[in-house]
Chains A and B, each alone.
Chain A
Amino acid sequence: MTTPDPHIERMKDLPSTHLLGSGTALCAGCGGLQALKEAYDILGRKTVFVNAAGCMTLMSVYPFTPFRGSWLYTAMASAPAGAQGVRDALDILKETGRLKPEDDMDVIVLTGDGSANGMGLGATSAAIDRGLDFLYFCYDNEGYGNTGQQASAATPHAARTATTAVGPGHLGFKKDLFSIWVANRPAYVATVIGAEPLDLAKKIEKCRDIKGPKLILALAPCPVGWRFDPELTVEIGRLAVRTGIWPLKEYVDGKITHTHKIKSRPPVTKYLELQDRFRHLFEPTLNEELIAEIQDRVDAYWDAVD
């Protein structure tokens, strides 16, 4: 639908002009905004963002918007159903000659992990069942960020949140949304992170031209919820990838590929120690057992990959 840009292969191929406006109510150092900003440069203005309740709902506050294209806020549980209504309506308008082909748009769901893993998952699964042609962009800040970072299904093991604020932190384990999507056999699934803009841009460019349900799952370091200095967003993002905590990968044509192979992984403590949500693993005493458990899980993941 959008004019294909030259193929993105190197950092210098990334767009030098940026589409997303500034001055929104989002927090300084928001990793979700970073990823969205990079993705938006590739997706372009012929887009309509169908938003689920979350942090990014504050992107468009009457009467202002940072988007060059369109926007429709829905509710927390049903953004994919909103995308269905928009996509179907655009198709009907095209088929009946009421919409010029150049007026068509890509339909993008913009949602946080709380909706994506929880109350929005039914609507998401159903949209995949129906083969809906849409991009599902999830900024995963690993908790209900907009309400003050309570634990969600995406919260990692041992993280302290507003509702798991004592003892060992969150007892559950981060839900594997990537695999849930893959099990539904959609058109495309990928993990990304704003701190690796080339990998992100390549994936957005690739999936843009694929028809069907597509997930872009962006880990979104959150200074407020994870409790770190906003200037560390990029560093924490890079460490999430390098320590192996956040594998960058994609699923297309029935195959999963890791797009960012790591030769030697620094220990997970390099990532954990920068965030106060994991401070209890290090102070007042080192919780070696819990740290080892986290490391073991990461190692086991990569052992299975290699």
Chain B
Amino acid sequence: MTERQLMTGNAAAAWGARLARADYVPAFPITPQTEIIETLAAWIDAKEMPGRLVTMESEHSMITAAGAAAATGVRVFTATSSQGLLHGMEMLYTVAGWRVPFVMTNVSRGLASPITLEPDHNDIMAARDSGALQIHCATCQEVLDTLLIAYKLAEHPSVRLPVIVNLDGFYLSFTREAVELPDEQAAAAFVGDYDPGANALRASQPVSQAVAVLGSGLYSYFRYEMHLAALQALTVYDRIAEEYATVFGRHHAAVESYSMDDAEYAFVMIGSFATKAKAAVDRLRASGLRIGLVRPRLVRPFPAAALRKVLGGLRAVAVIDQNLSNGFGGILHGELVSALLGLKSAPPVIASFVGGLGGRDITLEEFVGIADVLRQSADSGETPPCRLLYSDQELREVRKLQAVAAVERDELGAGP
């Protein structure tokens, strides 16, 4: 029997780890992720969930312990966010190279400076080249489902890499949605028992893991192996997602297409803000514009073929990046352009928009404005420059705060 419960994205992540029967949870608190490890700690303390949770002293150590435990032969779950992900970044790269399968949830949050608690994707984008795979979720249900899929993907013999399941801070982490809890036995059967493969430490079978190499030939060999494994994860993911749909009735394709059947235009977005784009698509469709939404769930490996298939033949595409590579622009935009380059039916216009930084809303009016830009650009054949979404109203608010602070400072006589 399945049941539906109202739960936050964080609780959904914790349920995913529980239903996947994670043995070990090295943990470290950070907003907005902390609820995940608190939930797991409470379950483990109450003996509602077997396993062990250890609070480490940093994310650097946490990811080290996660990789080391996976290298010893247990199923590992961990979670982090933002600064924590960056603090652990050395080890994320390192343990990915150990080819150890474990799953980490990242609750996206903007990076310092300035320090903030609210979400954008610069944190998770910084992990793009780590070797860890990443799957981006848009709903609480998807978070739970994706955790189970992620374990199967990470542990697949032709993949054997860590997988990061990403959800947006606040918008998903603290938002309650109705989530269908998979049956415990069915989830256990789906994920299967943990197979340590070559990553096991036993006195009777000594092994050296993560050893140094001398020579570029060996180094390149192992790095290429990782890349090929990550690429294999594309087909492995598709099979696992289909199997999940068969068992649990929900299909989470590598690339979600919404209202794309007869579309001429598309928004391309990842994460929970894509649900805002869906609402905008519905409105724009009602007014007669043939527009849809394309949402890559997989970002690593990058589902280039699936994106080519769904975007080929369109008049214009808007990539809305919730990240900003300073001095370059939106990261996904660059990746999508490279995926579509050389495709005969590639959309002639692939426009770039940056928004949603530090949790900034993207309004319906802005989506409508973006659609207008797409239409005009398709007509003129000219791709507009990257646009940073910001309103006069927001700028006025900033100026107002600065003015108030200046007055306060002058009145207190603290000025120069």
Contact = CB atoms under 8 A, between A and B. Distances in A.
The answer to whether A and B assemble together is: yes
Given A57-B212, A71-B209, A84-B26, A89 B73 contact: yes
B272 interface: no
Contacts of A61: 211-214
Contact of B210 (A69, A73, A98, A122): A73
Nearest to B61: A81
A75 B206 CA distance: 21
Contacts of A85: 24, 26, 64-72
B45 interface: no
Interface in B43-69: 50-52, 54, 56-58, 60-62, 64-69
A50 interface: yes
B94 interface: yes
Contacts of B67: 82, 85
B380 interface: no
Contacts of A88: 24, 26, 52, 54, 65, 69
B90 interface: yes
B283 to A, nearest CB: 50
Contacts of A129: 57
B393 interface: no
A73 B69 contact: no
A85 B333 CA distance: 38
B74 interface: yes
Contact of B206 (A45, A99, A122, A125): A45
B353 to A, nearest CB: 38
A87 B24 CA distance: 11
A269 interface: no
Interface string B170-208: 000000000000000000000000000000011110111
Given A82-B65, A103-B203, A60 B57 contact: no
A78 B72 contact: no
A276 interface: no
Given A84-B54, A88-B24, A123-B57, A65 B208 contact: yes
B202 to A, nearest CB: 4
A104 to B, nearest CB: 6
B195 to A, nearest CB: 11
Interface in A57-112: 57-58, 60-63, 65, 67-75, 77-86, 88-93, 96, 98-100, 102-105
Contacts of B206: 45, 67-70
Nearest to A63: B211
Contacts of B64: 74-75, 78-79, 81-82, 85, 123
Given A46-B203, A105-B203, A86 B72 contact: yes
Contacts of A89: 23-24, 68-70, 72-74, 201
Contacts of A99: 73, 202
B218 interface: yes
B137 to A, nearest CB: 27
A78 B91 contact: yes
Nearest to A122: B57
A112 to B, nearest CB: 15
Nearest to A90: B72
A130 interface: yes
Contacts of A75: 64, 90-91, 94
Interface hub of B60, B66, B67, B69 (most chain A Cβ within 10 A):
B69
A86 B203 contact: no
Given A88-B65, A89-B74, A93-B72, A70 B56 contact: no
From B68, B69, B74, B90, residue with most partner A Cβ within 10 Å:
B68
Interface in B276-301: none
A72 B68 contact: yes
Given A61-B211, A86-B72, A92-B23, 6 more contacts: A25-B214, A61-B212, A67-B208, A70-B208, A85-B64, A92-B74
Interface of B: 23-24, 26, 50-52, 54, 56-58, 60-62, 64-74, 90-91, 94, 201-204, 206-214, 218
30 contacts: A45-B203, A45-B206, A61-B214, A62-B212, A67-B208, A70-B206, A71-B209, A73-B211, A75-B64, A78-B61, A79-B64, A81-B61, A82-B67, A83-B68, A85-B66, A85-B70, A88-B54, A88-B65, A88-B69, A89-B69, A92-B51, A92-B74, A93-B72, A102-B204, A104-B203, A105-B202, A122-B57, A122-B61, A123-B64, A129-B57
